[in-house]
Amino acid sequence: MIVRMVNGEANRHRLAGARIHDYSHPHWRADVDILVPGAGEKLAYLTIPKCTAYEQAAEMIGTIQEVAARAGIDREIPIHILIETHGALRDIHRIAQLPWLQVLDFGLMDFVSGHHGAIPASCMRSPGQFEHHLIARAKAEVVAAALANGVIPAHNVTLDLKNPYAAYADARRARMEFGFLRQWSIYPTQIQPIVDAMKPDHSEVATAAAILLAAQQADWGPIQHAGELHDRATYRYYWEVLQKARVTGLKLPAEAETAFF
């Protein structure tokens, strides 16, 4: 069924992925044997859940690579790994170095459940999910490992389906306080609030444009802006601000648009 969907007209944007069973399930290899030869050229990603050790994730990715090679698929199939167990968190920095890995997802509900009542159920939602020390530590470790290895850290879902602002508020805290670059949605009305929360602030975009235009005029040497020193370190930061603004649909100052894009 998933192979038909991925190869069909419903996937015209080629953004559909699939989640396979976890390592402990007897059929995860069968999932790979069906999905990779059948839809490996179009799968946007494969998600691996509930690993409890680096070795499990490495074996599963190795199997995906072997099956892809046998099927004559040359592309790397992006892999998403859910970090939702004690063992995966323990091995997070090794997991983040695995091949074909594109995203590390934090799985909040399984992570809380795995503590057998030591973390209250209220921490499956805000504000507890950001303030409980065990969860905050886990989220920070996921982001640190992902960013150190060029992998995207993705935040867990918002359970509230009725209030779009709840998804916005969660995504904004995830982005600004922890450094997550994505958040999963589970309901259509959550999508735009999450995108909005991940956008740079208009004021920061304006500052980025002003600094980079002045730097360009100085042949990318150090400059002073609003009484502060800026050099290539801050230029790199503000360049990515402009890139993120364009990707998320924010309008750039006209002079910056002309100069850089």
**Binning pLDDT at 50, 70 and 90, where does residue 46 land?**
very high
Distances (CA, A) of 215 to 109, 204, 227: 46, 16, 15
**Binning pLDDT at 50, 70 and 90, where does residue 42 land?**
very high
Distances (CA, A) of 47 to 3, 60, 81, 159: 15, 11, 6, 20
pLDDT score at 238: 98
**Binning pLDDT at 50, 70 and 90, where does residue 20 land?**
very high
- Using a 10 angstrom Cβ sphere, with 0-12 exposed, 13-18 middle and 19 or more buried, the burial of residue 85 is buried
Domain spans, the chain: 2-198, 202-260
**Binning pLDDT at 50, 70 and 90, where does residue 232 land?**
very high
- pLDDT tens for each residue of 78-110: 999 999 999 999 999 999 999 999 999 999 999
Sequence-ordered list of residues with C-beta below 8 angstroms from that of 50, at least 6 positions apart, any chain: 22, 23, 24, 82, 84, 85, 88, 107, 110
**Torsion angle defined by CA atoms of residues 107, 110, 18 and 38, in that order, rounded to the nearest 10 degrees:** 130
Fold classification of 2-198 (topology level): TIM Barrel (3.20.20)
**Binning pLDDT at 50, 70 and 90, where does residue 141 land?**
very high
Whether 183 contacts 197, CB under 8 Å: yes
**Binning pLDDT at 50, 70 and 90, where does residue 41 land?**
very high
d(CA 107, CA 121): 14
User: Whole-number mean pLDDT of the chain?
Assistant: 97
Q: What is the CA radius of gyration of the chain?
A: 21
Structure tokens at 33: 């044997």
For CA atoms 81, 86, 89, 95, the dihedral sign is negative
Prior bond to 26 cis, omega within 30? Answer: no
- pLDDT tens for each residue of 153-206: 999 999 999 999 999 999 999 999 999 999 999 999 999 999 999 999 999 999
- Mean pLDDT, to the nearest integer, of 237-244? 96
pLDDT score at 257: 95
- Mean pLDDT, to the nearest integer, of 24-50? 97
pLDDT score at 12: 94
| pTM summary value | 0.92
Per cent of the chain over pLDDT 70 is 100
